[in-house]
Structure 1
Amino acid sequence: MAFLFIAVLLLLVFYAIIIAYYRNSWRAIPDYQPKNMLIPGIKFSVIIPARNEEQNIGRLLDSLQAQSYSRELFEIIVVDDHSTDATANIVRQYNDVKLLQLKEDGINSYKKKAIEKAIAEAQHEWIVCTDADCIAPPDWLLAFSSFITDHEPVFVAAPVSLIPFKKKNSILYIFQALDFLTLQGITGASVYKRRHNMCNGANLAYKREVFYEVDGFKGIDKIASGDDMLLMHKIWKRYPDRIAYIKSKEAIIETEAAPIWKAFFNQRIRWASKATSYDDKRIFVVLLLVYLFNVSFLVLAVASFFEIVYFFGLIIFVVLKTIIEVPFVLGVSRFFQSKIL
């Protein structure tokens, strides 16, 4: 009995140290305010892989056309990935959007192939990636351009939040939103402190020439996901001091939350599937510690069926875990203006 409690207590201490580090690192990131560009801005190729997104693609394209950034400084490329709905027809209604059709079959990662195809057609020096179910704020590209001009990175990770459900008090939405906020805070903190590499493919940018310098997705093309973090790690290995995170409200992309629990679990299984492919051992250690800590709660729950003392121990550790997490989650939620969660 004592051994189990001591083990969980040690994991709690390690967890508290990790969360405190992320909290302090997140707070240390300066809030970035885009500058109005007095010199010619960065030219972007905005890439959007899309499969069966007829419900969302028009909304995203409208938000891109409403950018405050000069339309002459960016192009929009949509890659239709074997859609069976009206996605391609909707894109064709936008005269200034380039539509590509992905023809390849039987490949491991259609999204990576779609991005590769778009980059091959891209005309500009910077690639900006987002997803078809997203919405871009008006100063999105302005924020990227200003930040890149000021900091000269080769890869920029950027913040993502979830589009609220119409029923905002949905347990599924609140759970996802809080979980997503935590991931965003860890992403910003880890990239800013250069501890390990994290990003979200719905909102990131990198130099086109650097993509080819690291041979693009070669070596990770057999993995279904990982078009974001695995590519980021390849670029980090070549440019460890030129990976950046933009903590700017103007750069926040909104993306759709999973509509049902099954979709949420499938999403997380897909994300987790690339964990064994991480070449970054620094993040693996963190993942392992957090995993073991959470598994210990399951062990205590099972043990409580045999000894009631384990149940009381479980309650105490849940309370302690919550006390540890609240300051961090609260700080991140302020930035995303989601304290109500």
Structure 2
Amino acid sequence: MMFIIIVISLGYLFVILGLVLEGFTYKARPHRASKPSVSNDFSFSIIINYRNEDHNLPALLLSISQLKFDFNRVEFLFINDDSSDSSLSILEKFITDNNDITVQLLERIPVSKSAKKDGITQALEIAKHEHIICTDADVNLPQRWLMAYEKHYQLLPDLHFIAGPVEMTHSNNLLSQLQHSEMVALQMTTIGGFSIRQPFMCNGANMSFTKTAFQEVNGYLGNDHISSGDDIFLLEKLAAEDVLKCSYLKSQDAVVKTFPKSSWKEMIHQRVRWSQKGKSTKSTLNKLVSFQVLMMNLLFILAPFLWFLNWLNNAQFFIVLIIKIVVDVIVIFTGNRFFSNTKWPIYLLPQLVIYPIVVISIALKSLSKPSWKDRQVEL
């Protein structure tokens, strides 16, 4: 038992904390073969898939209209995934009211099991620009978002993939604060992966790639039978092609904000869908991180019962508690140095107790096929 405790605890300490500290100190720098070209202007094609998002589109469209960027160098491609609400009419009104912004409306042509992969692939066929950015319909974009991407491409003009930061909005309640902290942890481990040249995670709500690179790796061919993973599977392909051309955009100006789920059930259901991608990923680091998080949270829950049954002595019990709490506090603290939540200490204690239960609930729920937006998720 002592050996298992040590392996799980030290694994969590070195793997998770190591990645987070790498992410905290990460700065993108040109490698030897890359020459910064700050004089170049970049143009972007923005791809956004949507399905029944009439409650989110107004906020997204408002943020688009407020972007600080030359709209002559950007186009927005919206792909409708069989919406039955008023999303299309909202977009049509936006086009009428903002004729200085280039917007194209497409209807998804189902080809695979993944609506987002179909939408991205279809949009790329008519995209005018080499540099593509993908985001979601349920986000708010910061005003300097495109300027941040352009600056990053100017620093590293040969990049073929950029992962951007995503933050969960938060309010004064435990559920939203917990989701914010979880997203912070995901982002910090994501940055750490890029820092050690082993990128294993990104977020489809904020990522960029070149059309040429997408075509060279045959897009989503080989994983288009899986419903999700439009982000991770593309990253894996492009990192395998040339990991030095994959980078993380660690900039406050690029932070895209998305919204937390309003109920515990919705949150767990969404996380189950996220976790399903891990079963098909080729990344050993991705699987290792997922395993360490699951086992450490399980051990944290079981530790009091094992201690009560005398299966753990006092030293073993406190090793588990101290390592778990210290690592989680450091992760949340360092993450919130970059992101904008100053109220996290108020909700820290209940999060430390409740989140392990959430993790185990997600793991158990993942044993069955989840559904998303009235569709079965294909693995």
Same fold, TM-score > 0.5, yes or no: yes
Matched residue type, 2:155: D
1:300 positional shift: 3.0
Q: What residue is the counterpart of 1:67 in the other structure?
A: 67
Aligned to 1:286: 289
Q: 1:112, CA displacement in angstroms?
A: 1.1
Q: 291-300 vs 194-203, which deviates more?
A: 291-300
State the superposition RMSD in angstroms. Answer: 2.2
Structure 1 residues 279-288 or 217-226, which shifts more?
279-288
- Secondary structure (helix, strand or coil) at the match of 2:330 reads helix
Written as runs of structure 1 = structure 2, the 5 A alignment for 1:114-193 is 114-152=119-157, 153-164=159-170, 168-193=171-196
Match of 1:83 in 2: 83
Matched, 1:203 2:206: yes
Cα displacement string for residues 161-184 of structure 1 (whole angstroms, at most 9, x for unaligned residues): 0122xxx22111111111110001
Name the residue aligned to 1:101. Answer: 107
* 1:109-149 residue CA offsets vs partner (Å, 9 max, x unmatched): 11211111111121111110000000100100010011111
Give yes or no for contact 1:26–1:189 (8 Å, CA) kept in 2: yes
- Give yes or no for the alignment of 1:45 onto 2:48: no
Partner of 2:11: 14
Which of the residues 10, 15, 23 maps onto 1:26? 23
Question: Which residue of structure 1 aligns with residue 218 of structure 2?
Answer: 215
**% identity of equivalent residues:** 28
| Cα separation, 2, equivalents of 1:243 and 1:135 | 24
TM-score of the two chains, using structure 2 as the length reference: 0.81
* Distance across 1 between alignment mates of 2:122 and 2:314: 55
Residue-pair matches, total: 330
Partners of 2:7 and 2:303 lie apart in 1 by: 15
1:207-286 map, 5 Å? 207-286=210-289
Structure-2 separation of matches of 1:129 and 1:240: 20
Q: Secondary structure at the match of 1:338?
A: coil
CA distance in 2, matches of 1:83, 1:311: 57
Normalising by structure 1, report the TM-score.
Answer: 0.90
CA shift digits 1:214-251 (9 cap, x unpaired): 10111010111000011110111111211000110000
- Counterpart amino acid of 1:163? T
Moved more, 300-309 or 18-27: 300-309
Matches of 1:103 and 1:224, distance apart in 2? 15
Contact 1:301 1:310 in 2 (8 A): no
Match of 1:334 in 2: 337
